[in-house]
Amino acid sequence: MKVVFAGGGTGGHLYPGLAIARELVKRDPTIHPFFVGARRGIERDVLPRTEFPHLLLDLHPLYRPAVWQNWRTARGAVTAWRAVGKMVAEERPALVVGTGGYAAGLMLAYAVVHGLPIVQQAGDSHPGITARGFSRWSRQIYLGFPEASRMLHSYAPGSLIDTGAPIEAPPIPRPSREEARARWQFPRTGGHVLLVYGGSQGSLGINLLVSEWVKGGLPPDLHLIWATGRGTYEQFRHLESECVRVRDYLAPISDAYAATDLAIARAGAMTTAELFAWGIPAILVPLPTAAADHQTENARALDAAGAAIHLPQADLTAQQIAATVATLVASPERMAALAAHASQRARPRAASDIADRILALVYSAASHAPSR
């Protein structure tokens, strides 16, 4: 049975689908995931390296400031609609899973028009326009943040489900903190390890502030794992030292999570879900240019829940970062409280839970399908 995953543009809209798809195949090898995305999104680079067949379409977002560019959006939608129709004609999907972003909108619209059942995975506390627009037709919506339910229409009672964001769960048993530190050539005990992670592409804004802090001198018992992103790695690599590890990209990132006591990170749904699954207290600096400022909404929700500290980037300084970190590491009780609330928000089994729910829908639909 074919299950179509539609979404992309950013990793936060693509990687959840990949995590769910892999769990589906583990449970039932007769399920055949198929991905639909945009030629201009991250999926262009990621999907060809996966095990899944896919279709990349000439899709464009709505150009709000430059409205005269929306002819591209309209033209792409027409050609994409035809391509999707051809794909569906080859094998009608049992279900369409929307994972967000403009890359999901056209596939979900086609599904609604042609009577294909749909579900969605909504990662952020402020759901995007695609998630909101198709919520009333979604048999189930899997929420990364329970706060998102206030902005979504319910298909039926119980269709808005707080599953958490689907991520790769921490290994069981988890690696020891001492061994993880040793792999980074840090002391096995004593002090604290801070992870600075601006997402898969890095964050120049955060990197510049951390650079200023490092140049001014870190506290003697603080060790830093700093993922700059590939685009700016050369700009900061010279700051590597005995207590600072500078990397362009963290793969596998679990090696860093296992050694980390505290993190400074963006507030994307996948990043926060991973940090919380590992029980890591976080200082969140939301990306100010994120669509609908959804990362700020995420950070505010998590700060209010006592699971993280929200520091807006607009007025942030290196001194403020240094002071916040110093205050936290000097207060084991505060660190423990943040870690406890982070762990309460964690849903490390989200991908497998969602896969189980999707399979139940697919099997139910198959059992009620008319015989031929």
Judge if 137 and 219 occupy the same domain.
no
For residues 282 and 266, is the Cβ–Cβ distance under 8 A?
Answer: no
Judge if 258 and 153 occupy the same domain.
no
Rounded Cα distance, 36 and 7, in Å = 7
Q: Which residue has the tokens 């619209």?
A: 109
Other C-beta atoms lying within 10 Å of the C-beta of residue 1? 17
Per-residue pLDDT tens listing for the chain (372 residues): 999 999 988 888 899 999 999 999 999 999 999 999 988 778 888 999 999 999 999 876 655 566 555 556 556 577 888 999 999 999 999 999 999 987 899 999 999 999 999 999 998 888 988 999 999 999 999 999 998 999 999 889 999 999 999 988 888 888 899 999 999 999 999 999 999 998 777 889 999 999 999 999 999 899 999 999 988 999 999 999 999 999 998 878 899 999 999 999 999 888 999 999 999 999 999 998 887 788 999 999 999 999 999 999 998 999 999 999 999 999 999 999 999 999 998 988 999 999 999 999 999 887 766 554
Judge if 16 and 142 occupy the same domain.
yes
Residue 329 domain-assigned (yes or no): yes
Q: Which residue has the tokens 């700016």?
A: 232
In the prediction, which pLDDT does 372 show? 47
Any idea of the CA torsion for 336, 340, 341, 346, to the nearest 10 degrees?
Answer: 140
Rounded Cα distance, 87 and 75, in Å = 19
Contacts with 179 (C-beta within 8 Å, 6 or more apart), sequence order: 188, 258
In the prediction, which pLDDT does 73 show? 56
Residue 161 domain-assigned (yes or no): yes
Judge if 219 and 90 occupy the same domain.
no
| pTM flag (> 0.95) | no
Q: Output the six-digit token pair for 321.
A: 């970062």
Quote the number of domains for the chain. Answer: 2
CATH code, domain with 321: 3.40.50.2000
Any idea of the CA torsion for 258, 290, 310, 340, to the nearest 10 degrees?
Answer: -40
| Side-chain-facing half-sphere of 221: CA atoms under 13 Å | 10
Residue 34 domain-assigned (yes or no): yes
Q: Output the six-digit token pair for 58.
A: 């000439």
Q: State the residue range of the domain holding 324.
A: 177-345
In the prediction, which pLDDT does 365 show? 80
Residue 58 domain-assigned (yes or no): yes
Judge if 130 and 41 occupy the same domain.
yes
Give bridge partners of residue 100 from the DSSP assignment: 7
Judge if 60 and 7 occupy the same domain.
yes
Q: How far is CA 190 from CA 1, 176, 231, in A?
A: 53, 14, 33
| Side-chain-facing half-sphere of 61: CA atoms under 13 Å | 17
Judge if 35 and 58 occupy the same domain.
yes
Judge if 267 and 204 occupy the same domain.
yes
Judge if 18 and 155 occupy the same domain.
yes
Judge if 340 and 305 occupy the same domain.
yes
Judge if 237 and 356 occupy the same domain.
no
- Peptide bond before 170: cis, by omega within 30 degrees of 0? no
In the prediction, which pLDDT does 293 show? 83
Q: For the chain, where are the alpha helices, taking DSSP H only?
A: 11-27, 43-46, 70-90, 102-113, 129-133, 177-183, 204-216, 233-236, 254-259, 269-277, 294-304, 318-329, 332-345, 350-367
Residue 372 domain-assigned (yes or no): no
Q: Distance between terminal CA atoms of the chain?
A: 16
Residue 108 domain-assigned (yes or no): yes
Q: Coil, strand, or helix at residue 127? A: coil
For residues 358 and 95, is the Cβ–Cβ distance under 8 A?
Answer: yes
Residue 216 domain-assigned (yes or no): yes
Residue 289 domain-assigned (yes or no): yes
Judge if 183 and 199 occupy the same domain.
yes
Q: What secondary structure letter does DSSP report for 174?
A: P
